[in-house]
Amino acid sequence: MPLQGRRILLIIAGGIAAYKSLDLIRRLRERGAAVRVVMTAAAQRFVTPLAAASLSGDPVYTDLFSLTEESEMGHLRLAAEADLVVVAPATADLLAKMAAGLADDLASTILLAADKPILIAPAMNSRMWLHAATVANLALLERRGVERVGPNAGPLAERESGPGRMAEPLEIVAAVEQRLGGGALSGRRAIVTSGPTHEPLDPVRYIANRSSGKQGHAIAAALARLGAETVLVSGPTSEPDPPGVRVLHVETAREMLAACEKALPADIAVCAAAVADWRAEAAPQKLKKKNGPPPTLKLVENPDILATLSKPGNRRPRLVVGFAAETENLIEHAQAKRAKKGCDWIIANDVSASAGTFGGDANTVHVVDEAGVEDWPPLSKRDVAARLATRIAQFLAQKAAE
């Protein structure tokens, strides 16, 4: 079991998402982790200590000033004896306390005194999540080394929809596994392509597109966080190299294909790059503007990286995922592309100017596979990557068990 012998201190704060924390306890224990639970007073209005204790198999700690709890397990020992502190849900109030260094209850005191890694799963109303105070608090906590999973976008308790929904228990488990080693993709090898390609016309000009590489880079980072040995083949982009990832920098489609083939064999291939479909015969010197008609560009088709990696054979990755960047008839074109390329999944997204996908930080995707179409809500590209990496890990685990 990937978390066998690991000790998790789970802090449950007050919010409707606290009900998910009960399933989180069960999922962590399924993977061999020992779970101790701390609940705030507000959390106890949503779930009971008895329910959490029944699932964790350990007493639930609630009161900073309890003589019984302090005699049996001092609050400083709770964090000291854990490998990781997980806060799920992490409310706006608790994030503010963490940022300010307040310690007025058991949960905030433990978090202030903890010398162990902390992973938070924020959950709150969209307006609270987007408020400048929460944004500043989160930025401060991340600078201090606090790690985060989620939140996702979707339906909220107030009959509204937007960002602020706590990550699903399996997403949190995946983040825990990555943080503690032995992640869900440990022992797997992944190839990810990202960014545009530049096809030269002459030494100074080239054919390109608007891809920023943000989504592909985020996917590479997410796969690495789950333990995969990840190779990122990146076209020209201003995105920094993701930590823990081997990055191969290329410019053209032919260079990208060569780098991908050299990185084989692999278990996973995610082709997120916006590869130029055509290239021109590059002029050896800069093309000069002259009187008369402009030069005629003779275009030839570039190699199809996704189709090449999808070809049957002993070097084909177990799972090949492509992207369909479309401006119209999104699902129909994505389904046709999946059939034509021979890949397993297509991640369809709208890249028309009004969508703001190219160069932006958010994405709305639809996963097309043999079972049909799975529509995802609008998410940050980071959260799309995390969700996709989790889906990949679950798919490969299921196939290994068959």
Q: CATH number for the domain including 219?
A: 3.40.50.10300
Distance CA 399, CA 199 (A): 39
Judge if 326 and 254 occupy the same domain: yes
Judge if 11 and 125 occupy the same domain: yes
Nearest Cα residue to 343 out of 193, 170, 217: 193
In a domain, 239, yes or no: yes
Residue 270 has pLDDT above 80, yes or no: yes
Judge if 123 and 263 occupy the same domain: no
Judge if 326 and 352 occupy the same domain: yes
Judge if 215 and 331 occupy the same domain: yes
Query: Is 188 in contact with 150 (CB distance < 8 Å)?
Result: no
**Structure confidence at residue 66 (pLDDT):** 64
Distance CA 330, CA 324 (A): 8
Q: What stretch of H or E contains 28?
A: helix 18-30
Query: Is 83 in contact with 6 (CB distance < 8 Å)?
Result: yes
Distance CA 6, CA 183 (A): 13
In a domain, 2, yes or no: no
Across the range 103-122, mean pLDDT stands at 91
Based on the residue annotation, tell me whether 209 is a catalytic residue of this protein. yes
Residue 393 sits at the vertex; the CA angle it makes with 346 and 256, to the nearest 5 degrees, is 50
In a domain, 1, yes or no: no
Which residue shows structure tokens 């990949």? 392
Across the range 239-246, mean pLDDT stands at 84
CB atoms within 10 A of CB 367: 19
Cα 225 to Cα 7, 262, 380, distances in angstroms = 19, 23, 17
Task: Enumerate residues 6+ apart whose C-beta is below 8 A from 248.
Answer: 231, 232, 233, 234, 259, 263
Query: Is 267 in contact with 318 (CB distance < 8 Å)?
Result: yes
Nearest Cα residue to 282 out of 297, 302, 293, 260: 297
Judge if 142 and 194 occupy the same domain: no
* 91 three-state secondary structure: coil
Largest CA distance in the chain: 92
Tell me, what CATH number does 77's domain have?
Answer: 3.40.50.1950
In a domain, 336, yes or no: yes
Q: Which of 209, 291, 302, 329 is catalytic?
A: 209
pLDDT in tens, 276-304: 999 988 888 888 888 778 878 889 999 99
pLDDT in tens, 348-362: 988 765 555 565 777
Judge if 253 and 335 occupy the same domain: yes
Judge if 250 and 384 occupy the same domain: yes
pLDDT confidence band for 92 (50 / 70 / 90): very high
The rounded percent of the chain whose pLDDT value lies above 70 is 94
* 65 three-state secondary structure: coil
**Structure confidence at residue 72 (pLDDT):** 55
Judge if 27 and 172 occupy the same domain: yes
Identify the domain boundary among 180, 205, 220.
180
**Structure confidence at residue 396 (pLDDT):** 95
Please report how the helices 49-56 and 18-30 are oriented relative to each other, as an axis angle in degrees rounded to 10. Answer: 10
Identify the domain boundary among 133, 160, 180.
180
**Structure confidence at residue 69 (pLDDT):** 58
Count: domains in the chain: 2
Residue 67 has pLDDT above 80, yes or no: no
Report the range of poorest mean pLDDT among 150-159, 184-193, 309-318, 332-341. 150-159
pLDDT confidence band for 224 (50 / 70 / 90): confident
In a domain, 349, yes or no: yes
In a domain, 258, yes or no: yes
Judge if 139 and 67 occupy the same domain: yes
Judge if 364 and 251 occupy the same domain: yes
Domain limits for position 165: 7-180
pLDDT confidence band for 225 (50 / 70 / 90): confident
Across the range 162-171, mean pLDDT stands at 88
Identify the domain boundary among 180, 212, 243.
180
Residue 71 has pLDDT above 60, yes or no: no
Judge if 226 and 315 occupy the same domain: yes
Residue 363 has pLDDT above 90, yes or no: no
**Structure confidence at residue 179 (pLDDT):** 76
Mean confidence (pLDDT) of the chain = 89
In a domain, 168, yes or no: yes
pLDDT confidence band for 49 (50 / 70 / 90): very high
Q: How many residues does the chain have?
A: 402
In a domain, 332, yes or no: yes
Q: Do the bridges between strand 268-271 and strand 189-194 make them parallel or antiparallel, or are there none, so unpaired? A: parallel
pLDDT confidence band for 261 (50 / 70 / 90): very high
Across the range 2-8, mean pLDDT stands at 86
Q: Do the bridges between strand 345-350 and strand 319-326 make them parallel or antiparallel, or are there none, so unpaired? A: parallel
